[in-house]
Structure 1
Amino acid sequence: MNWHSWAAIAVFVTAYAAIISERVHRTAAALTGAAAMLAIGATDDKAAFFDEHSGIDWNVIFLLLGMMAIVGVLRQTGLFEYVAIWAVKRARGRPFRVMTMLIVITAAASALLDNVTTVLLIAPVTLLVCERLALPAAPFLIAEVLASNIGGTATLVGDPPNIIIASRAGLTFNDFLVHLAPLAAVLTVVLAVMCRLMFRKLFVYDEERAAEVMALEEREAIRDRRLLYQGLAVLALVVVGFVAHPVLHYAPSVVALLGAGLLIAMSTVRADEALKEVEWPTLAFFAGLFVMVGALIETGVIGEVSRALADATGGSRLGATMLLVFGSAVLSGIVDNIPYVATMAPITADLAHGFGGGHGTQVLWWALALGADLGGNATAIGASANVVVLGIAERNRQPISFWQFTKYGLVVTAVTVALSAAYLWLRYFALA
C-alpha cells in the first residue's frame, strides 16, 4: 500500500473515532472526513460523485429522500396515531407484547419492502406508542432496527446488499426466499427472546396508562381520510414497484421518487410541507460516509482486506463459507454494508469460480449475504436502517447514543451470526 492508502486509513479511523465518541456530531464528522479524503487525493470528484463502485450511492440517498417525503405526507393524516393505538390495544398495554408485535411487524415488512423504508414507517408509530405508555422509546427503536436487518435478509429486496449479490450471482427472488427466509424467521423469534432478556427492566406494566389507551377509539385519530386513501394507494404502488423490480427494472430509488412526486402532485399538501420531514442531516451523513469508504476502495484498502480474507480460505469450501460469514459480519459492522458488499462481490465470484461454480457454490453467496446483513446490526452505523432510526430518534428528542445501540447490537450480531454459521454448515455440508 502507498502513502495514499495509509493516509486514507488515518482519516477514516479519525472520523470513525469522532463519530463513536459523540463529541462531534456524526454528520459533521462524516462530511469533514469526506472533505479530508478529497483534499489528500485519496479520491476525486469523479470517483466520489459519479463512480458506481466507489462513489456516493445515489440510489440509497434518493430512496431515502422519496420515502421520507411519502412518510411526511402520511404523518399528516393521523395514520401513525391510528396504528399506535391499535397496536397497544391488541397488546393490552403490556410492554413486552407491544415490543414483540413491533418486532414481528418490522421483520415481516422488511422482507417485502427494504429495511430502510420499513423503519421510516414504523419508527413514528413506535414513538407514539411509547408516549402513550410513558415508556422510553430507545429500546423499542433499537429492537426494531435489529428486526429490520434480520427480516431484510429473507428476500432479494429486503436489504440493499442482497440486490448487489443477486445481480452478481444471478440469483432470483425465489432463491433468497427458499434459502434465507426460513433462517430469518427463526432469527426473528430468537431476537424477541433476547429482547425479553436485554430489556427486562423496561417491561413494567402501568395499569392506569393501559386503561387510558384501551378507552381510546383509534378511528378518531384519522384527521384527513381523503389524504389517507391517497397516501395508502401511492404507498401500495411503491411496494408493488419494489417487488416487481425484476420485471419493471425500475431501481427502488426511482420507484420512491415517482411515488413521492405523484403523492405530492395529487394531494393538497405543499411540497415544502412534505419535505420538512426529510432527515437532511442523515442524508448528508450517508453522503460523507460513502465518500470515505469510497476512498478506501479507490486506494485499494478494502480490496486488500477482502483479498486477505479470500487467501485465508486454504482451498476449503467450508473454510471459505465460514470466513465469509464471520469476516463479513465484522467488516460490515465497521463500514456500511452496501459498499462492502459491492467490493466483496467480485472476490466472492472468483472464489465460487475457483471451486468449480455451479449450485454447490451458492453457499458462498448466502454466507456473504448473512454476514453483511446481520453484521450491520453490530454498530450504530453498520447499516442504513441504523443511521436512519438514530436520526429520527434525535429529531424527536429521544437520542440514542452510538454505544447505547452498539452494546445491544454486538450481542445480537454475535448470536445471530453464530446461528447462521451453524445453519450454513448443517444445510449445505452436513446434510448435503
Structure 2
Amino acid sequence: MAMAACVKVILGSVAFAIFWVLAVFPAVPCLPIGRTAGSLLGATLMVIFQVMTVDQAYESIDLPILVLLFGTMVVSGYLERADAFKYLGKLLTWKSKGAKDLIFRICLVSAVSSALFTNDTSCMVLTEFVLKIARENNLPPEPFLLALASSANIGSTATPIGNPQNLVIATQSGVSFWEFATGILPATILGVFFNALLLIFIYGDLLSVKKDQEDPTAGFVNGECVNSHQFSPATMGGHRVNSEPENHWFLNGAYWDHRDQPCSRRWKMQLWKSCVYLVVVGMLVSLLMGLNMSGTAITAALALMILDFKDAVPCLEKVSYSLLLFFCGMFVTVQGFNRTGIPSTLWELMEPYAKIDEISGLAILALVILILSNLVSNVPTVLLLGARMAASSALISPAFEKKAWLILAWVSTVAGNLSLLGSAANLIVCEQACRVPDMGYTLTFWKHLKFGVPSTLLVTAIGLMLLKS
C-alpha cells in the first residue's frame, strides 16, 4: 500500500499514538480514562481526522472474533460456577512433595487451564489459590505467582481459544483448530517444562528454605480452605459468597448449607455440573472437528444458558464488555493506521531481511514481533503483521504460510512474559495478588523483569526451533 496524503499520515499517526499510550499506560495523569475509553477515542479520532469513513470503521470490526471471545467468556463463567477451577485447585495440593513439586504443578495446571479457558480467566481465578498454597507451606509467593503468570501465557499458545491474539490469528488465517493445536503443542509442552526448570534454577534457594519467621496467621489456610476457594461476589445463583463461611451457597435469594441439603437437591446440582462439563467437552470436540469456531462457542454458551434454566442476566453480567469494546476500538484504530501506509512501508523495508525460511531472517522476524508485542501489545502486533507475514511466506510455499501464522502466535504470546506490562495475564496476577485479604503481595515490575527476560528468550528460542523444523 502506498503512503497516504501527508496530512492523513500525520493525523492517523497521532490517533494511533493516543491509542497506544492509553493502552499501555491506562492511568496516564493527563488523561486517566483507561484502556477501553482510550481505544474508543483512537477509533473516533480516525474518523474525525478523515483517515477513514464511518462505514469503513464499521467494516473493520471483526464480528466473528467478538462472537468467539464473548462465547468463551460465557462458557468460562459457567465452568467457574460448576467448580471446575476448584477441582483444578485441588490438583495443586494433592499429595504434594515440596516447593519444587508445587512449582511444576502450578505451571502444568496454569498451562492446561489457559489453553482451555483462556489465560486471563485462569489467572483471575487461580491467583488466590496460589497465594494460599504459598502461605500454607510458609514459602515466598514470588516464584509461585511468576509460575502462574508465565505458564498461563505459554500454555495459552496451544489452542486458538487460549488468548485473544490466537483468536485473531485463527479467524484470519483459516488454520483449523486441529492444525493449530497439533502444530504448536510440542513447543508449548517444552516451553512450560523449561520455564518451570528456569524458575527452580533462579529461585532454588527460596524454594529450598522456608521463611525464617513463620507468619502468625499461617494456620488460617489449610488443605480444606485451599480446596474451597471463594470466587466472586454472589451475583449468580448457586455461587458461593465471599462473606459467608465455607459450604454456604447463595441460591434463590437465601443462604443454604450444601451439607444439609436434601438428596434431591444434591443430585440436581451434580447433574447440572455434569451437563456443563459435557457441553464444554462437546464444544472442544466440535472445534477439533473443524466446525466454525465462533458458531461453536456461541452455541455452547446458549446451551449452558438453557441448561441453567433461569434468568441468564447474572451470568451475562460476568462478561467483560469493556474488553469487547476495547477490541472494537482497536480494530478501527489499527485499520486506520494501516490506511496511512506506514506499516506497509516499514514491512517492505524489513521483508528482505525477515525471510521465514532462513535462520537469520527468522531471528530478525522474531525480534521484531517480540519488540512490537511489548511496545504496542500483542493483539495490535498480530493485526499489523499477520496478513503481511502470511503473504510473504506464501510466496515460498503454502506450508510456510501456515508456519508463519503459528510463529506469529507463538512469539507474540510468549513475548508477554518479558515484562509485567507485556501481558494482561501478568497484570491480572499482580492486581489480584495485591487485593487478597490478609495475604496481599506486590509483584513489582523489576521482580518480574528479573525472571521475564531470560524466560522469554529461552522459551521463544525453543519454540522457534520446533516450529521451524
Instruction: Judge which range, 397-406 or 174-183, deviates more.
Output: 397-406
Determine if the alignment matches structure 1 residue 367 to structure 2 residue 367. Answer: no
Which of 319, 322, 327 is residue 281 of structure 1 equivalent to? Answer: 322
Instruction: Report if aligned partners of 1:282, 1:388 keep a CA contact under 8 Å in 2.
Output: no
Which residue does 1:13 correspond to in 2? 17
The total of aligned residue pairs comes to: 416
Q: Give me the identity figure in percent.
A: 22
**One-letter amino acid matched to 1:65:** F
Instruction: Report if aligned partners of 1:5, 1:300 keep a CA contact under 8 Å in 2.
Output: yes
**One-letter amino acid matched to 1:125:** L
Determine if the alignment matches structure 1 residue 130 to structure 2 residue 172. Answer: no
Instruction: Judge which range, 302-311 or 387-396, deviates more.
Output: 387-396
Q: How many Å apart are 1:40 and its aligned residue? A: 1.7
Instruction: Report if aligned partners of 1:227, 1:267 keep a CA contact under 8 Å in 2.
Output: no
Determine if the alignment matches structure 1 residue 412 to structure 2 residue 455. Answer: yes
C-alpha distance 399-217 of structure 1, shift in aligned 2 (>3 A): closer
Higher helix share: 1
Q: Over alpha carbons, which structure has the higher Rg?
A: 2
Which of 344, 350, 361 is residue 309 of structure 1 equivalent to? Answer: 350
CA distance in 2, matches of 1:302, 1:72: 38
Q: How many Å apart are 1:358 and its aligned residue? A: 5.5
CA distance in 2, matches of 1:417, 1:41: 40
Which of 154, 159, 162 is residue 150 of structure 1 equivalent to? Answer: 154
Which residue does 2:121 correspond to in 1? 120
Instruction: Judge which range, 207-216 or 30-39, deviates more.
Output: 207-216
Instruction: Report if aligned partners of 1:162, 1:369 keep a CA contact under 8 Å in 2.
Output: yes
CA distance in 2, matches of 1:148, 1:403: 18
1:12-60 residue CA offsets vs partner (Å, 9 max, x unmatched): 3334334444332333333333333332223443333332xxx3x4444
1:325-404 counterparts in 2 under 5 A? 325-355=366-396, 357=397, 359=399, 364-378=404-418, 403=445
C-alpha distance 192-401 of structure 1, shift in aligned 2 (>3 A): closer
C-alpha distance 354-218 of structure 1, shift in aligned 2 (>3 A): closer
Q: How many Å apart are 1:193 and its aligned residue? A: 2.8
Instruction: Report if aligned partners of 2:330, 2:380 keep a CA contact under 8 Å in 1.
Output: no
Q: How many Å apart are 1:272 and its aligned residue? A: 2.7
Q: How many Å apart are 1:188 and its aligned residue? A: 0.6
Which of 37, 40, 49 is residue 40 of structure 1 equivalent to? Answer: 49
Instruction: Report if aligned partners of 1:333, 1:377 keep a CA contact under 8 Å in 2.
Output: no
CA distance in 1, matches of 2:206, 2:292: 43
CA distance in 1, matches of 2:424, 2:393: 28
Instruction: Report if aligned partners of 1:155, 1:177 keep a CA contact under 8 Å in 2.
Output: yes
Determine if the alignment matches structure 1 residue 213 to structure 2 residue 222. Answer: yes
Which residue does 1:320 correspond to in 2? 361
1:280-331 residue CA offsets vs partner (Å, 9 max, x unmatched): 3333333333332232223233333333321334897334322322222222
Which residue does 1:257 correspond to in 2? 298
Instruction: Judge which range, 208-217 or 407-416, deviates more.
Output: 208-217
CA distance in 2, matches of 1:320, 1:167: 26
Which residue does 1:234 correspond to in 2? 276
**One-letter amino acid matched to 1:49:** Y
SS in 2 for 1:192: helix
CA distance in 2, matches of 1:276, 1:307: 45
Q: How many Å apart are 1:176 and its aligned residue? A: 4.5
Q: How many Å apart are 1:192 and its aligned residue? A: 1.5
**One-letter amino acid matched to 1:154:** A
**One-letter amino acid matched to 1:341:** V
Q: How many Å apart are 1:342 and its aligned residue? A: 4.5
Q: How many Å apart are 1:210 and its aligned residue? A: 6.7
C-alpha distance 385-292 of structure 1, shift in aligned 2 (>3 A): farther
CA distance in 1, matches of 2:109, 2:287: 23
1:261-272 counterparts in 2 under 5 A? 261-272=302-313
C-alpha distance 19-95 of structure 1, shift in aligned 2 (>3 A): farther
**One-letter amino acid matched to 2:393:** A
CA distance in 1, matches of 2:316, 2:356: 52
TM-score w.r.t. structure 1 length? Answer: 0.75
CA distance in 1, matches of 2:183, 2:445: 33
Instruction: Report if aligned partners of 1:85, 1:213 keep a CA contact under 8 Å in 2.
Output: no
Instruction: Judge which range, 73-82 or 24-33, deviates more.
Output: 73-82
C-alpha distance 278-184 of structure 1, shift in aligned 2 (>3 A): same
CA distance in 2, matches of 1:210, 1:327: 49
C-alpha distance 42-103 of structure 1, shift in aligned 2 (>3 A): farther
Instruction: Report if aligned partners of 2:178, 2:289 keep a CA contact under 8 Å in 1.
Output: no
Stretches of structure 2 lacking an aligned partner (at least 5 in a row): 229-245, 250-257, 259-265
Stretches of structure 1 lacking an aligned partner (at least 5 in a row): none
Give RMSD over aligned pairs. Answer: 4.3
**One-letter amino acid matched to 2:71:** G
SS in 2 for 1:180: helix
Instruction: Report if aligned partners of 1:11, 1:33 keep a CA contact under 8 Å in 2.
Output: yes
CA distance in 1, matches of 2:114, 2:226: 28
CA distance in 2, matches of 1:138, 1:72: 28
CA distance in 2, matches of 1:78, 1:366: 33
Instruction: Report if aligned partners of 2:114, 2:121 keep a CA contact under 8 Å in 1.
Output: no
C-alpha distance 184-215 of structure 1, shift in aligned 2 (>3 A): closer
Instruction: Report if aligned partners of 1:107, 1:152 keep a CA contact under 8 Å in 2.
Output: yes
**One-letter amino acid matched to 2:107:** I
C-alpha distance 173-128 of structure 1, shift in aligned 2 (>3 A): closer
C-alpha distance 335-17 of structure 1, shift in aligned 2 (>3 A): closer
